[in-house]
Chains A and B, each alone.
Chain A
Amino acid sequence: MPLDITLFGIQMPTLLPIFALSAVLQILVDRVMSDTGFYTYVWHPGLFRTAVFVCIFTLPCLLIYR
């Protein structure tokens, strides 16, 4: 994948749209996990949430900076 992309005539790093998309994905995953009561089995929900977000965000980033 390219390092920069052009959206609406503005050049920006590809990381930015990836960040926005992974934030949306994270919100959905988080909603599902809290409604199924998954977080009651997790020692530190805050840390777990952050870690999940880092995973979601860095996976596509690996494709760019391989």
Chain B
Amino acid sequence: MHALKLPFILQMRQASLEWLETDAPILIYMVKATIAGLIALWISMKLNLPDPRTAIFTVFIVMQPQSGLVFSKSYYRVVGTIVGVGISLLMMGFFAQDPIWFITFFAIWIGICTAAGFKYRNFQAYGFVLAGYTLCIVALPVIETPLEVFDIAVSRFSEVVVGIMCATIISDILFPRHLSDSLLSAERERFGNVLSTLADPDSIFGTKEDVQAQATRFSSGVVGLNATRINSAYESGADRKDRQHSQHLNHEYMNLSTTFHSLKNMVRAIEPQTSPEMMSTLIDLYAPIASSLRSFRTNTFSADDLNRIIQELLEAKNTIGERVKVEQEHLKPVLDEDSYDAFTSTAYLIIRLLSELHIHCVTYLSLLKHRLSGSTSTELSRVVRFSTHTDNVLVGLAALRGSGVLLVTMGFWIATGWPYATQTITLAVVIGLLIGTLPSPLDAVINFFKGGITAVIFAAVYDFYIIPEFTSDLLTLSLVLAPVLALVAWWTTQPKWSGFSLGFVFLFMYECALDPYYKIDPTKFMESALAYLIGIVFAGAAYLLVNFWSCSLTQQRVAKILRRQIVTVCEGELTLQRSALESTGRDLVQQFSTQGRLNMRSSRLVFEWLLLTLEIGRAILSIRRSLERLYPHYRHKSIDNALESIRIFFDTPSESVRKGLLITLKDSLHELRINELPNEKVQSNRLQTVMNELALIRTVLLNIDSFPVVTEDSCR
């Protein structure tokens, strides 16, 4: 009996731990959202605000499981509302009498907001969305009586502020969950991933598919983690040092993953042509890195372990550098020029991987020390910014769609003269703004519509049966509302229900009788519900029409933008940081793979192009930097020639230019190699760097055939 009991208790323990891990947070979130919503409703009813539904609606829009997200979304909601209210006061002051100008400026404003919402990331985008649709909410209902606009603007603003105060205070006081904690564990996991991937030489030199899959995991998550970091800045606890460390880690991780992938691609490309002994030399070169990491495969890092690893990596760095020089001397007479270049650039990549890994470990150690004791081991003075890039064609298209929806629904209003058509306009504009940034907008609109219909049914039951039958005061109203609010909160935690829950929140809040005094009549209810549903249909039609992103078009756009980046690197300012190059490239590809319609194969292809661009761009920057500090008489004409022909190739790519470029690169490398290296150590090192980078560019271009001349059609 006793023996049986123990496993049962253990089982129960495990089950309850699992429950605490996964279900309890959702339950807590539901309770929090419901309480915040009801408090907002109560406060705005007590303050006699004309439209308490806006406050409770705000709570549900802003509420997120983690407080950092709530803070940043609230901040942008307040800013967006202020701007929107200000613009509507201006518009009503200027154009209330003149429909043509009113509609024109309305359309321009919505276009600007959609474009800006599309261009910016995270909740910044949400601020613009709000600035756009606040105009609809404030200006349209009072179009007949323009003098009331000030009152409605003030009350709208107060309601939003009440909602936001409730949401933020409740989410930070009641069982707060902090974004910085999840950031911490994500960083630890990522660091562990890096170490375990690099500890296995097969992940670079192996060709087996299962190892490949593990290695592709290496590269994901840069953009997402950066967003988490930005939002966690609104929480307390994470101070400036912490944020700096995260920025640096992210940046170093990007560099490391680029180097890793280039090394892998390089090995895969040169393997068939080279002699096995050269391959084994390369594997030997890598061996010290792997052996120092292998002892370290667990996910719990202590500072002492890390210290030891850093020490070992430092030693490995010295020995590998020496060995490469020896091997180069040894192999130079044996190999032909192509293989020699391949060897030099691969060895060079291994050295770079090692030194970047070393830096990454040092930063992580410093972060660990900072979290443990508050002191850091390295000073991080340089500010690394995560820059983004959005394609202007996509932005223009989004603006066109936003303004188009507004104009068409305005036309609908003018043609029908239906008083409820303003609600059609509002909802169509809201959807046009809000859903445009989601991965598949059309599906989201369809789900929004389903959610809307469900909400209308719920609202009808509430308006005509439950509220008049069972409520007499605020307390009873809160009691009957609580289950629906909890349900909505649960829906918002499920990613697959996101469109649905959004539609439900919008229509339920606007259709439910949440006025200070109960006033509802069936005709009005049905007409406004109909108006909202028509609005959703209009917005859906817009997404259906302005949605001609085919796979091949997306590919062409990406290729063009990446090519232009290299051209900019060739001729632009030298102050461009590698981090800017890396982060814009990654952000761009991430955006295209969510917005454009890429299949698995072509998105892998696009990722390859990205790596190529990053690698070549970095090499060009490094060549140009070395050239700048090289004495003029060591500056061979051939280096400038090589750079110029690289620029021309990426400016106007074609097969013949590519052949010419390869010959130019070969010639200039040859010329550099027959010349004597300068006696002075620093100058000689710089020239050596230029040669290494040129060899790298040449090997990369020699072995990759799909970019920038897009030959393969991977869209089928």
Contacts and interface: CB of A to CB of B under 8 A. Distances in A.
Interface of A: 30, 33-35, 37, 39-40, 44-47, 49-50
Nearest to B67: A46
Given A37-B239, A45-B236, A49-B236, 4 more contacts: A39-B237, A46-B172, A46-B173, A49-B172
25 contacts: A34-B236, A34-B237, A34-B238, A34-B239, A35-B239, A35-B240, A37-B239, A37-B374, A39-B236, A39-B237, A40-B237, A44-B173, A44-B176, A45-B237, A46-B67, A46-B172, A46-B173, A46-B176, A47-B172, A47-B173, A49-B172, A49-B236, A50-B169, A50-B172, A50-B173
User: Interface of chain B, helix or strand or loop or mixed?
Assistant: loop
A46 B236 contact: yes
Contacts of A44: 173, 176
A37 B176 CA distance: 19
Contacts of B238: 34
A33 B236 contact: yes
Contacts of B240: 35
Contacts, number: 30
Contacts of A30: 236
Nearest to B370: A37
Which 10 residue pairs of A and B lie closest in terms of their CB atoms, listed nearest first? A46-B172, A45-B236, A46-B176, A39-B236, A35-B239, A39-B237, A34-B239, A34-B236, A46-B173, A47-B173
Contacts of A46: 67, 172-173, 176, 236
Interface string B404-415: 000000000000
A9 to B, nearest CB: 12
Nearest to A33: B236
A50 B239 CA distance: 18
A35 B169 CA distance: 22
Name the interface size band of chain B.
10 to 19
Nearest to A38: B236
Contacts of B176: 44-46
B13 to A, nearest CB: 27
Contacts of A40: 237
A32 to B, nearest CB: 10
Contacts of B236: 30, 33-34, 39, 45-46, 49
A55 B173 CA distance: 16
B583 to A, nearest CB: 26
Interface string B171-189: 0110010000000000000
Interface in B227-265: 236-240
Contacts of A47: 172-173
A37 B238 CA distance: 9
A46 B169 CA distance: 8
A34 to B, nearest CB: 5
A33 B235 CA distance: 12
Nearest to A45: B236
B393 to A, nearest CB: 39
Interface string B28-62: 00000000000000000000000000000000000
A62 B169 CA distance: 22
B161 to A, nearest CB: 9
Contacts of B374: 37
Interface string B622-663: 000000000000000000000000000000000000000000
Nearest to A42: B236
A57 to B, nearest CB: 11
